Structure 1
Amino acid sequence: MYIINGALGSPYSMKMRALMRYRRIPHLWVHGADSRDALSKVKAPVIPVMEYPDGTFHNDSTPLIYDLEARHSERSVIPPDPAHAFIAHLIEDFADEWVTKAMFGYRWLEEVDQIQMSRWLAFDAMKGGGLATSQGYAEQFRARQVGRMAIVGCAAENFPLIEASTRAILGALETHVVDQHCLFGTRPSMAEFGMYGQLSQLGVDPTAQAMMRKDFPYSFRWLLHIDDMSGITGKWDTADAPFAPIITAWLQQVGEIYMPFLLANAAAIAAGEDSFHITAMGLPYTQGVFKYQVKCLADLRARYAALDAHARARIDPLLAQTGCLEALLSQ
């Protein structure tokens, strides 16, 4: 039995819980105060922390997905076609590293969201202790998170780009989900779960939820479907099937925003600089450098380089059209 030590307010926790449910891998869900001890068992104290049946502890959601694939073959979330698998990974990485800024920005920029979500997250974490204690903790947590806004690239001056990107992502999803739920057939891949994790938080936080209910109602409802797909038995698209339009739309966001973001971050670190700046969708964005995202870029390039010539030939036109290819080829 696996144990997911996570939080309802953590996009990566919700991502892994939904994935485990779909894969029908036996697990327990532990959150709040009951999950704190698990953080001391891993090098980087970030959730979710998954306790394996052998008593070992692991975190970092994307490596967890691949490790679970190696351990459990049934109901895989990796498309069997290598080209499709690469695109699924690229979208999942985009969700983890860029779309997460929407979650953070919507949650901590406006006072109404700060108050509501700090109190709810404190309630989740404490599970008792009295209202005064809970709200006191909420204020401390709120101050900490708001203080981190600039560090994670979610300062107010960056939010116009984050919001424009989010609306483009949701617009494509809204069009897609009324025709079909998944991206690579009638069963979900790691891409859906990665995007679900981030968007699950927008479906809860006051300002973002109101936006989704008003402008993207079917995407809002889709979140509840992806949360538990344990009853779904679908099929993968064949290797020669055309990509759904949503994949092109989302990859356009990757090519226009995420790839320039990764390249600028890597260049700034190589130059010994503390921050970097990009302009995308006609809007400015500035952030401090992050070493982890240099690893993300290197990993994407390595995965692309590992594709055989046939797989590359099938996706290179799409990657070129959407502005993704050049960054994957650069070294």
Structure 2
Amino acid sequence: MTAYRLFGAETSPYSLKVRSFLTYKGIDFDWIARSQATEEEFQSFARVPTVPLLVSPNRAPNQDSTDILSCVENDHAEPSSVPDDPACAVLALILEDYADEWLNKVMFLKRWGQKPDREAAADRTMEQLFDGKLPRAKKKTRDQIIKRMRDRLPLVGVEKKNEKTLNTSFERFATLLNKHLEHNLFIFGGRPSVADFALAGQFSQMLIDETPGAWLRENTPFVTAWCEFMDAPKAGAPFKPLEELKETLLPIFKGEITQTYLPWASANLAAAQDKQDRTSVKIEKKAFEQVTQHYAATSFKSVQKAVRRLNENEALSSFLDEAGAKDFFEPSKN
């Protein structure tokens, strides 16, 4: 038994985010697929019923993928996942939160919002839960899984009136990222950052699902290749400074992050602070409404603090200003 043990699922983007990170760090760990056979052990460590769950030698069990990456980075500094340019390091945190809290909505929509993807996803979930031995009542179990997951769609913001916004966001972001990765091995240069691990975790799930997977392979070959490489990434060169990345990185922020995620994240945080049950915001002149997500509010608050700590960094300030994103991080905001 190794000192690090990671409970996870192949169907969980956050599990793959952490597994890929541990692999990159060269940490010896046991991958424990959550199933009926491992449930008792999982419950002995878990505080919430979700994966990933990392058991570490010198820290308490952790189920927050963002915090896991931060703690592991502190304990194992090399190879680094923190860009040398402080502005890039903060932009990586913004993209990580975008992946975890916004792109995840798209992943849920693509997987559980349509046929045939949801049936295939339910079959994979069954195989995971029952260690590859499908139950006799296969159709009944599949239908139960589909119902349970479809009931969760509104909780992550996948409501019927939001679907067009999410689909447009997905195709635009994937296209912009593909252009950026055509010229860069990873998002911030020659080695991966937390942004790579978080985004690849979501995209790798969509590549598994038939409908989004076919679209990605046809339209975004560099994203597809990058996702495959992110399963066990290796540093290929140093990080790049922001100036060398700006030509294709700025359009990602200006064309997508500022248009969708930042308005929603800011409105969601305000709703959480005001103890509102629902969040309502205009995204590209269309109403986007959903249940207020309190974890996402806390996460975005942390990102705001990281940006504000660097408020005297001219490169970051200029980049956010050009992207139309600066106002979302002003001290007067939230």
TM-score higher than 0.5 here? yes
Structure 1: any 5+ residue segments left out of the alignment?
none
Of 240, 260, 264, the residue aligned with 2:263 is: 260
Q: How far does the alpha carbon of each residue in 1:188-238 deviate from its partner, in whole angstroms, 9 at most, with x for none?
A: 1111111101111110011111211222233222211111114x4421224
SS in 2 for 1:277: strand
SS in 1 for 2:262: helix
Contact preservation (8 Å) 1:119, 1:135: no
Q: Distance in 2 between matches of 1:18 and 1:135?
A: 33
SS in 1 for 2:54: strand
Q: Distance in 1 between matches of 2:72 and 2:134?
A: 39
Residues 21 and 272 of structure 1, relative CA distance in 2, 3 Å threshold: closer
Q: Distance in 1 between matches of 2:186 and 2:133?
A: 42
Alignment of 1:56-75 (within 5 A): 56-75=60-79
Q: Hey, what does 2:326 align to over in structure 1?
A: 325
Contact preservation (8 Å) 1:176, 1:246: yes
Report how far residue 43 of structure 1 moved: 2.1
Report how far residue 8 of structure 1 moved: 0.6
Structure 2: any 5+ residue segments left out of the alignment?
none
Q: Hey, what does 1:237 align to over in structure 2?
A: 240
Report how far residue 131 of structure 1 moved: 4.3
Report how far residue 68 of structure 1 moved: 0.5
Q: Provide the aligned length of Structure 1 versus Structure 2.
A: 327
Alignment of 1:100-179 (within 5 A): 100-179=104-183
Contact preservation (8 Å) 1:109, 1:156: no
Contact preservation (8 Å) 1:39, 1:49: no
Q: Distance in 2 between matches of 1:177 and 1:65?
A: 23
Q: Hey, what does 1:210 align to over in structure 2?
A: 214
Instruction: Tell which deviates more after alignment, 208-217 or 29-38.
Output: 29-38
Q: Partner letter of residue 251 of structure 1?
A: F
- After superposition, the CA RMSD in angstroms is 1.9
Matched, 1:38 2:42: yes
Alignment of 1:177-196 (within 5 A): 177-196=181-200
SS in 1 for 2:287: strand
Report how far residue 103 of structure 1 moved: 0.5
Of 248, 251, 265, the residue aligned with 1:249 is: 251
Q: Partner letter of residue 4 of structure 1?
A: L
Of 295, 298, 303, the residue aligned with 1:295 is: 298
Q: Distance in 2 between matches of 1:39 and 1:186?
A: 39
Q: Distance in 1 between matches of 2:97 and 2:247?
A: 19
Contact preservation (8 Å) 2:180, 2:249: no
Contact preservation (8 Å) 1:5, 1:30: yes
Q: Partner letter of residue 11 of structure 2?
A: G
SS in 2 for 1:182: coil
Q: Distance in 1 between matches of 2:132 and 2:190?
A: 42
Report how far residue 251 of structure 1 moved: 1.6
Residues 188 and 272 of structure 1, relative CA distance in 2, 3 Å threshold: closer
Report how far residue 270 of structure 1 moved: 3.7
Residues 233 and 23 of structure 1, relative CA distance in 2, 3 Å threshold: farther
Q: Hey, what does 1:9 align to over in structure 2?
A: 11
Residues 204 and 181 of structure 1, relative CA distance in 2, 3 Å threshold: same
